[in-house]
Amino acid sequence: MPTVTVYGHDGNPLGEMDLSARVFEAPVNINLLHQAVVIYQQNQRAGTASTKTRAMVRGGGRKPWKQKGTGRARQGSIRAPQWRHGGVAFGPHPHSYARKFPHKMRQAAIRQALSAKLRDGELTVVADFAYPQVKTRQVADTLRNLNLEPNALLISRGANETLKLSARNLPRVETASTEALNAYTLLKHQYVVLDKDAVAAIEEVFGR
């Protein structure tokens, strides 16, 4: 069972905390993590790219010149793909890029991402994210006191509006709740910072 130090906002250790071995010591499968990242990115694509075929472009209903006798190549419409302002052959059309990711695979990817962060020394646990007011400096000071680069994911249990608003002006710092956790967001940031309530929620959901 892995053990981590719990820190306060000032960077001083407050004690230690045991973590679930099933969640934070899972064997890492690089292929599964790669699949989780690719599917997540695919599901974010809007799929709205669109072009007009020759049937959709306005005009071109009359044959530009007669079929024979002009010395020029035969043409049937000035909206054919080879013409300027013509339609596009084999161009993109709106469609969905969504792919399904099985629930058990998604949970396994999250466990493996958390385990990889802990193994690499990039996972930190703090007592809480209870900031008294919305202020960016509070979050910046916490990261600096923890000796973390400003490339971190801050995870709380449930929605923490004060934390979200306080961190939104920090570049490369993102907040997330345990309910919206995914492997891509965990791997996207160099450091992952959880509060004690978030650890309990993650172990409750992913430690089954």
Q: What is the mean pLDDT of residues 51-58?
A: 96
How many C-beta atoms lie closer than 10 Å to residue 99's C-beta? 11
CB contact at 8 A, 194 and 155:
yes
In the chain, where the domains are located: 3-43+100-206, 46-96
Contacts of residue 156, Cβ cutoff 8 Å, sequence gap at least 6: 129, 163, 175, 176, 177, 178, 194, 195, 197, 198
25: pLDDT strictly greater than 80? yes
Q: Where are the beta strands (DSSP E) in the chain?
A: 3-7, 13-18, 123-126, 152-156, 173-177, 191-195
State the number of CA atoms in the 13 A half-sphere of 187 facing the CB: 21
Q: What is the mean pLDDT of residues 127-131?
A: 91
Q: What is the mean pLDDT of residues 154-169?
A: 92
> What mean pLDDT value characterizes the chain?
94
Q: CA nearest 181: which of 192, 171, 196?
A: 192
With H, G, I as helix, E, B as strand and everything else as coil, classify residue 200: helix
CB contact at 8 A, 115 and 28:
yes
Q: Which residue has tokens 């230690």?
A: 16
208: pLDDT strictly greater than 80? no
Phi first, then psi: give them for residue 198, nearest 5 degrees.
Answer: -65, -40
Residue 150: pLDDT band by 50, 70, 90 thresholds? confident
Q: CA nearest 107: which of 35, 181, 176, 34?
A: 181
Q: What is the mean pLDDT of residues 182-206?
A: 93
Residue 124: pLDDT band by 50, 70, 90 thresholds? very high
Give me the sign of the Cα torsion angle 99, 104, 109, 110.
positive
* pTM of the predicted structure, to 2 decimals: 0.84
Residue 106: pLDDT band by 50, 70, 90 thresholds? very high
Which element (helix H / strand E) includes 165?
Answer: helix 161-167
207: pLDDT strictly greater than 90? no
143: pLDDT strictly greater than 90? yes
How many C-beta atoms lie closer than 10 Å to residue 34's C-beta? 13
Architecture in CATH of 3-43+100-206: 3-Layer(aba) Sandwich (3.40)
149: pLDDT strictly greater than 90? no
CB contact at 8 A, 168 and 128:
no
Q: What is the mean pLDDT of residues 1-22?
A: 91
